[in-house]
Amino acid sequence: MKMSGIMALWCMFLISTFSIEEKNCLQSDNKSFIRILNNSKYPLGNIMLYSKHFKDLRPGDSSKYKKIRFDERKDDAIVFVSVNEVNFAVFLTVPEIGRKYTVVIDSIQLKERNIFVRELKK
């Protein structure tokens, strides 16, 4: 009698473990979508967003949305840009699965080496 109870508990444990692993596998297949919008008065070069490369953007330009599968172990939640051979970087929030994000570069102060960025989520 005791052995069957232990076996039942062991089976319940195994089933719950497999369902957690299945959920994690399904979530890892989901993607987010990101793009970058240049609202500054400077052209942006060497753009990297969540470890994805983007084409250079002129003032007022926007990139197309790119699919990302963000992995905190190997990707950076950072936007990198270059303006007049000066590099800038800003930390961003980690993207939620299945959402669309627009990272907006609002302004850049070259002399002070400041960059002002905001994130829009859909």
Q: Say if residue 79's pLDDT is above 80.
A: yes
3-state SS, residue 31? coil
The pTM (predicted TM-score) of the whole model is 0.71
Alpha carbon 118 to its chain centroid, in Å, reads 14
pLDDT digits (tens, 9 = 90+) for 5-49: 666 666 666 566 554 444 444 444 568 899 999 999 999 999 998
Nearest to 61 by CA among 98, 81, 94, 35: 35
Do the beta carbons of residue 60 and residue 37 sit within 8 Å?
no
Do the beta carbons of residue 92 and residue 78 sit within 8 Å?
yes
User: Radius of gyration over alpha carbons of the chain, in Å?
Assistant: 22
pLDDT digits (tens, 9 = 90+) for 49-75: 888 899 999 999 999 999 988 888 888
